[in-house]
Structure 1
Amino acid sequence: MIGSSRTASRLVGRWACAVATAALVAAVAAPASAQSTIRDTEVEGIIREWTDPVFSAMGLEPSEIQVLLVNDGDLNAFATGNRVIGVNTGLILRTENPNQLLGVLAHEAGHVKNRHVLRQGAQSAAMQPFLMTMALGALAIAAGQPGAGAALLGSGQFFGTVNALRYLQGQEGEADITAQRGLEAAGESGRGLVEFFENFRSQEVFSDARRYPYFRSHPLSGQRIEALRRPVEAASHYGQADSPERLAQHALIRAKIHAFMDAPNTTLRAYGSSDTSFPARYARAIAWYRDGQTQKALDATDALIAEQPADPYLYELKGQILFEEGRPAEAIAAHSESVRLKPDAPLLRINLAHALIETNDPARLDEAVDQLKRAVAREDDNTLAWRLLSQAYASQGKEGEARLASAEYYFAAGGQAEATQFALRARDMLPAGSNEWRRAMDIVLASGATMDDIEDLDRRQEQRRDRPTVIPPPVA
């Protein structure tokens, strides 16, 4: 986990670590502008294990779908036009079983499948004026001016918004049916999605007694639930139950989110010592670590490792505890074991590299660079990896490579001007025609540099040809 530390501010910087690709920042700015996204290999892996077969059954390529965990306690999920699905931690914690969470994610994938790219625009253009109109109308009536309230609620803006809501409701119904069909094709039940909707049916804004006639004849959720229930109950996999393994995974996800997001005392009360389940003991270990009870956290983690020695995420937690305690050299062994057990996980390699760098031992820098290069080969938009790689190269005196890594950092984060600046500097220092030189040129061109910029750089490169190289050759 790129995980939590003991204070809220450091928590945002580690477990609640914002994903930073330029395209992604643009994609999620509207629905999640005030939140951060969580990166955790274990939780991400479980969710992808559940969802990828459903995505495939829908005719979607799983590798093209990005699922984000959003650090927000509100009940919400969203899909964007460029195949990004987001789900709030608050929604995950309100699901009662894995099938409910899978159903919600399948519904969002239904929006992606049906190319509901106007969904966000419709919400901003129609829903917000509607809510404002309703609020003003309610205030006018409460202030003793029912005529003013009726005028507002009967305005063209209000009824124009009703039409937009019908359009949105149509999209929601399409996504429901697409989700149901995808779940059925993947051998999963759609019952969880119906259950989840039923659990929050009472959240409709108005009761029947207060609802305007239009809403009485066009129920916002009841009609939708019934339209979904019929095909779900008729499907051959309706009775498919969550496996014990999947139930345990769901309990672990919930425990881990609580442990990293809630105050330690809250977690320790929720997962008291009488609860000896694996998720509860995992949550307590994390809570003790965040509460500064380091030895207690390490002892608890070691006990879990003794029971499940092939679990890479327990070694990850142990490494994180030691690293956050200012003991990076001791953290290396735990992080190395997590990488050995899960070599395809970029975040685990980044953890190991970070510990290697923080030892301030020059002899460890080559391994740190190797781990980071392997990480960015799988996640080329991981800004933390690029920042650490720049730091490692700079410590080795490799100024050209360090500047190229900084350019990659800004390019991934959407800072085109800074990316261009660092890429130009890198190109000036790297051997002409090398792979690194070509990559610097790619960033320069992609970031909008002009030919004048490049020609000026070439003139300076010519002037530097007879100068000593940045890195002295090794002594013979």
Structure 2
Amino acid sequence: MLAAFVPRLFAIAAAFALLAQPAAAQSILRDAETEALLNEMAAPLIEAAGLAPGNVSIVLINDPSINAFVAGGQAVYIHSGLIDAADTANEVQGVIAHELGHITGGHIIRGGEAVGTATSISLVSMLLGVAAAVAGAGDAAMGVIMAGQQAAMGKFLAFTRVQESSADAAGAAYLSKAGISGRGSLAFFGKLQNQEFRYGYSQKDEATFGRTHPLSGDRIATLREDYIDDPAWDKPDDPVLQGRFERVKAKLFGYLARPERTLRDYPESMTGVPARYARAYAYHKNAMIPQALAETDALLAMNPADPYFLELKGQVLLESGRPNEALEPLRKAAAMTNNEPLIAAVFGHALIATEDKSHFEEAEGVLRAAVARDRLNPFAWYQLGVVYAARGDMPRARLASAEQQVMSRQYETALRSAQAAEAGLPHGSPDWLRAQDIAMQARAMLEQDVKNR
């Protein structure tokens, strides 16, 4: 009897550990235009929350579910499914404001305390159940364990619902202080409420026991009066911001959705920027290069000076095996955005892909500038390593590889690359010191992996 209960002890503890952490991200989506828009949308809210804009990151996750979360530090993670579900930039701003409420409320730290309390309740009930089982009262033991598990889970979920309500209130305050209407926030809660109805969630109070969030209907009722009374309630949406949101949403859809679905939702009869953006990606994914380039040329005909249209054309040309033709639009895009790191990385890649050694010096300068402004760009580090190797600078090639490998969690490979770089770099130089730092980081992560096994 005792042996049957012990695995449940670990299962319950593991359940609380999982509840305390956000779902593992499938992958991070990075795009210069999208990041610029999200950062601009978030900036007034970050300021209203009393946080430093440069210290808060808005990160886009490749996940079709409608969700956003914070996971320690000052980063807001937004699922691609949330962007797809939102109709306006204002709706996304409402979500960002709510997540900032979690950051300023210290909810990740306090969440760990709640898990500890709930797990303690569960463990105590488990020990009492084991004692009953040893005494021969098997049915009573199971009852004690199940009651303790339910009480522990209920306490933890009640705590998370309080946190969500607190974040709702904080988010409303930040929207108000930033002069942004709460209409989008209520509209998005309405979408969540429709999902609850669709999947049969009861709107009765007793249904909230097993939920991590308050019911959307209750959240709407709580916030509506404050939002309507706020001076910003009737403030119209910014048409420029909304236009940018619509094109980014279509761009993301074209990049992620199956081409046939994109071409169905954005037929050729639609000639606006969002539709052409989406179709360009769909055609490109289907290797229909002439059609993809026709869409990018149509976009550039609307605005020849749009750097993101130029970036798209360069990307299509580069990835279809025409790097020499990609150089002009990518060079222009990089110049227009002051060498925005993501665009510069693609430009550097195109310079290398020409296999023309006369371009390698320019590629090195472009890529070094890119990683100087955005060190968390494994693609740029990889390309920089290629340039160093082509120019015979193997120590720096290995250092660039180590940078890319440690970000990709290839810690054993990163350690070897860093040690090889350190051995070949001038003693005491900045690059030599960086190689040491990466080696120390890789060793620490490998040791942690061993401890966690």
TM range (shorter): 0.7 to 0.9
1:401-420 Cα distance to aligned partner (Å, 9 max, x none): 11121222233334444333
Q: Give the superposition deviation at 1:183.
A: 1.1
1:422 aligned onto 2:400: no
Alignment partner of 2:178 out of 175, 178, 186? 186
Report what 2:377 is aligned to. 382
The DSSP-based 3-state class of the residue aligned with 2:60 is strand
The DSSP-based 3-state class of the residue aligned with 1:368 is helix
Contact 1:169 1:220 in 2 (8 A): no
Residue 379 of structure 2 aligns to which amino acid in structure 1?
A: L
Structure 1 residues 435 and 253: CA distance shift in structure 2, 3 A: same
Provide the rounded CA distance (Å) in 2 between the counterparts of 1:319 and 1:410: 27
Report what 1:243 is aligned to. 238
Provide the rounded CA distance (Å) in 1 between the counterparts of 2:429 and 2:210: 66
Stretches of structure 1 lacking an aligned partner (at least 5 in a row): 1-28, 131-150, 450-476
Structure 1 residues 287 and 183: CA distance shift in structure 2, 3 A: same
Report what 2:150 is aligned to. 158
Structure 1 residues 208 and 199: CA distance shift in structure 2, 3 A: closer
Provide the rounded CA distance (Å) in 1 between the counterparts of 2:67 and 2:166: 18
Report what 2:448 is aligned to. none
1:397-443 Cα distance to aligned partner (Å, 9 max, x none): 11111112122223333444433322222222122333322332333
Provide the rounded CA distance (Å) in 2 between the counterparts of 1:422 and 1:214: 52
Q: Give the superposition deviation at 1:114.
A: 1.0
Query: Equivalent residues in 2 for 1:135-284 (5 A)?
Result: 155-204=147-196, 206-207=201-202, 211=206, 220-284=215-279
Contact 2:364 2:384 in 1 (8 A): yes
Number of matched residues?
A: 402
Contact 2:266 2:278 in 1 (8 A): yes
Report what 1:472 is aligned to. none
1:287 aligned onto 2:282: yes
Query: Equivalent residues in 2 for 1:52-451 (5 A)?
Result: 52-118=43-109, 155-204=147-196, 206-207=201-202, 211=206, 220-448=215-443
Contact 1:122 1:164 in 2 (8 A): no
Q: What is the aligned-residue identity percentage?
A: 38
Q: Give the superposition deviation at 1:338.
A: 0.7
* More contact order relative to length (CA 8 Å, sep ≥ 6): 1
Q: TM-score, normalised by structure 2?
A: 0.81
Contact 2:403 2:414 in 1 (8 A): yes
Report what 1:21 is aligned to. none
Provide the rounded CA distance (Å) in 2 between the counterparts of 1:281 and 1:215: 44
RMSD, aligned CA: 3.1
The DSSP-based 3-state class of the residue aligned with 2:107 is coil
Residue 248 of structure 1 aligns to which amino acid in structure 2?
A: G
Q: Give the superposition deviation at 1:202.
A: 4.1
1:361-389 Cα distance to aligned partner (Å, 9 max, x none): 11111111111100011111211111111
Residue 180 of structure 2 aligns to which amino acid in structure 1?
A: E
Contact 1:80 1:120 in 2 (8 A): no
Contact 1:122 1:168 in 2 (8 A): no
Structure number having the greater helix percentage = 2
1:219-257 Cα distance to aligned partner (Å, 9 max, x none): 633333222222212211111121211221221122111
1:156-184 Cα distance to aligned partner (Å, 9 max, x none): 32233222222111111111111111111
1:119-138 Cα distance to aligned partner (Å, 9 max, x none): 765898879xx9xxxxxxxx
Provide the rounded CA distance (Å) in 2 between the counterparts of 1:347 and 1:119: 36
Stretches of structure 2 lacking an aligned partner (at least 5 in a row): 1-19, 123-142, 445-453
The DSSP-based 3-state class of the residue aligned with 1:85 is strand
Provide the rounded CA distance (Å) in 2 between the counterparts of 1:394 and 1:213: 59
Report what 1:136 is aligned to. none
